């Protein structure tokens, strides 16, 4: 019996049915840049199959082809026989971790990321860098130009960091403005709390203005996507169980998030815990309640914003919203409610921006090639604002804008709605 039989691995139907038609090649950002079969969805499926059939060693080199996948899921959507090469690449990372567990991944995704207090402590230096004016000085003295290009691009990703993480500021219950019509939960993601606090404050204000009493538990942990991206499935399951138990304390109609990545992961808890007899039904019930904020706002009667946003605005579809959750019309429709806002569609709006969580760190060259393509498309719209409901995409777009010398503001679509509502 092969040692593989003892491992958690993809089902044979996840890869055996590939008919090698090549349709997925046309939508794959990594294939578009390299035009090599191994950098394509079809190639990754073939490698996974040979590895799992024992025809190829499951070596770090083979796994690297799985890590070079951006997880954008465009191939999942187009495959005529239902193969999900993007999901398969994630599963293969998990297989590799079972064969050869990585100490640093375990420490990072088990010991730091799911522990909000440690994450807050770890980001203190960044907060000081901005709050003490060091960043301004760094730019004013032109020191930034001395950094290697990759470091410069990573520095550019940093948004203006809030004085305190939103987790510590947002009340557990935000009252509805006027008559309470809905009882909703809010899942505050790590990036939103640590980096994009003003956006999530705006999200809760927009919900409250539209009759929602918003419950935001302080003790949630990371949704699990970073750990999933690095094959740490036991860790993902632990975080899922924790978050489900947190929300079971409340009686809520829906659980809303303004982070596309968190939303897609929370919606998958049912699948992630499907084989756990104690948690399967609880996870399914939890996932059934999860909504992206734009998805939810599109289902309730909204107060018409009276303020104006005088700007030409375009939109970038986060893969975790458009592909994973099939939410794409709603953010556009919400922005079109705003008077003065001229919406212009960006070519290839649903093409990955090259972020994929950490690709700017791990696969810099591919990430920036894909990003620069996005910037050409953004520039062609003449937009002054690009909206996108994912912190990873927003950070990547900010880097692209700096790299390409553009003057475009990056914002969450719901923040624009909040601005149009005013006080
Ligand atoms: S994964 Fe799907 S789309 Fe891609 S080659 Fe195989 S069958 Fe065709
Ligand atoms: S998920 Fe995206 S990057 Fe990965 S194989 Fe599919 S299309 Fe290519």
Cα(85) to centroid(ligand 1), Å: 8
What does residue 37 show for φ and ψ, rounded to 5 degrees?
-60, -40
> What's the CA-to-centroid distance between 10 and ligand 2, angstroms?
17
Answer yes or no: are the C-beta atoms of 123 and 161 closer than 8 Å. Answer: yes
117-124: long-range contacts, CB 8 A cutoff, minimum separation 24 = 119/190, 119/194, 120/165, 120/167, 120/168, 120/194, 123/161, 123/194, 123/195
**Where does the pLDDT of residue 111 fall: very low under 50, low under 70, confident under 90, or very high at 90 and above?**
very high
State percent of the chain over pLDDT 90: 84
Averaged over 399-409, what is the pLDDT? 95
Which ligand is located closest to the Cα atom of residue 354? 2
Checking if the pLDDT of 1 tops 50, the result is: no
Architecture of domain 3-99: Orthogonal Bundle (1.10)
30 C-beta closer than 6 A to ligand 2: yes
Q: Distance between CA 319 and CA 383 in Å, rounded?
A: 21
Lowest mean pLDDT among 137-151, 251-265, 266-280, 403-417: 137-151
Beta strands 182-186 and 290-292 are unpaired
**DSSP assignment, residue 409?**
E
Which tokens belong to 148? 């290697």
Using the mean position of ligand 2's atoms as its centre, give its distance from the Cα of residue 391 in Å. 20
Nearest to 216 by CA among 226, 224, 208, 228: 208
Could you read off the pLDDT of 340-363 as tens digits, one per residue? 999 999 999 999 999 988 899 999
The mean pLDDT value for 386-407 works out to: 96
Does domain 166-297 match CATH 1.20.1050.140?
A: yes
Per-domain boundaries in the chain: 3-99, 124-160, 166-297, 308-421
Q: What is the pLDDT, as a whole number, of residue 423?
A: 73
Q: Domain 308-421 adopts which CATH fold?
A: Rossmann fold (3.40.50)
On the question of pLDDT at 2 being above 80, the answer is no
**Which pLDDT belongs to residue 160?**
87
Q: Starting from the CA of residue 367, give the closest ligand.
A: 2
The predicted pLDDT at position 192 comes to: 96
Q: What per-residue confidence (pLDDT) applies to 105?
A: 93
- Arithmetic mean of pLDDT, 34-44: 94
Crossing angle of helices 413-421 and 329-336, rounded to 10°: 20
Res. 58: pLDDT tops 60: yes
Copy the structure tokens of residue 338: 């705003």
- Mean pLDDT score of the chain, rounded to an integer? 94
Give tens-digit pLDDT for 253-293. Answer: 999 999 999 999 999 999 999 999 999 999 999 999 999 99
Residue 3 has pLDDT above 70, yes or no: no
Task: Output the furthest CA–CA distance in the chain (Å, rounded).
Answer: 68
CA 47 to CA 35: how far, in whole Å?
16
DSSP bridge partners of 212: 182
Q: Supply the residue whose CA is at minimum distance from atom 2 of ligand 2.
A: 72
Query: Among 75, 95, 132, which Cα is nearest to 10's?
Result: 95
Query: Does residue 373 contact residue 30 with C-beta atoms inside 8 Å?
Result: no
Whether the CB-CB separation of 186 and 207 falls below 8 Å is answered with: yes
């Amino acid at each position: 019996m092969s040692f593989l039989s003892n491992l958690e691995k993809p089902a044979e139907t996840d890869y055996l049915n590939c008919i090698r038609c090549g349709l997925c090649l046309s939508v794959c950002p990594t294939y578009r840049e390299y035009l090599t079969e191994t950098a394509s969805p079809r190639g990754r499926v073939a490698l996974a199959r040979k590895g799992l059939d024992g025809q190829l060693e499951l070596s770090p080199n083979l796994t690297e082809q799985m890590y070079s996948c951006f997880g954008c899921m465009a191939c999942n959507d187009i495959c005529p026989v239902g193969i999900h090469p993007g999901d398969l690449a994630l599963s293969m990372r998990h297989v590799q971790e079972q064969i050869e567990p990585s100490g640093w991944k375990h420490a990072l995704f088990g010991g730091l990321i799911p522990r909000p207090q440690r994450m807050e402590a770890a980001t203190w230096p960044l907060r000081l860098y901005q709050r003490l004016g060091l960043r301004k000085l760094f730019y004013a003295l032109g020191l930034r130009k001395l950094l290697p290009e990759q470091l410069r691009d990573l520095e550019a990703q940093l948004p203006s960091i809030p004085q305190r993480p939103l987790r510590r500021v947002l009340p557990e219950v935000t009252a509805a403005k006027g008559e309470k019509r809905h009882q909703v939960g809010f899942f505050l993601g790590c990036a939103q709390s640590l980096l994009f606090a003003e956006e999530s404050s705006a999200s809760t204000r927009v919900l409250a203005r539209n009759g929602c009493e918003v419950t935001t538990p302080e003790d949630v942990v990371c949704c699990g996507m970073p750990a999933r991206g690095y094959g740490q499935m036991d860790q993902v399951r632990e975080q899922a169980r924790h978050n489900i138990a947190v929300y079971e304390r409340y009686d809520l109609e829906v659980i809303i998030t303004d982070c596309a990545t968190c939303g897609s992961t929370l919606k998958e808890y049912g699948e992630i815990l499907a084989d756990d007899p104690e948690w399967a039904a609880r996870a399914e019930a939890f996932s059934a309640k999860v909504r992206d904020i734009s998805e939810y706002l599109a289902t309730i009667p909204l107060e018409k914003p009276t303020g104006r946003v005088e700007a030409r605005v375009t939109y970038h579809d986060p893969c975790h919203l458009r592909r994973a959750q099939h939410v794409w019309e709603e953010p556009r429709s919400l922005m079109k409610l705003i008077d003065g806002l001229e919406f212009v569609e960006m070519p290839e709006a649903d093409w990955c921006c090259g972020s994929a969580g950490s690709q700017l760190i791990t696969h810099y060259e591919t990430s920036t090639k894909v990003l620069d393509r996005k910037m050409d498309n953004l520039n062609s719209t003449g937009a002054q604002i690009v909206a996108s409901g994912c912190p990873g995409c927003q950070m990547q777009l900010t880097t692209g804008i700096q790299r390409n010398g553009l003057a475009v503001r990056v914002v969450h679509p719901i923040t624009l709605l909040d601005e149009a509502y005013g006080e």
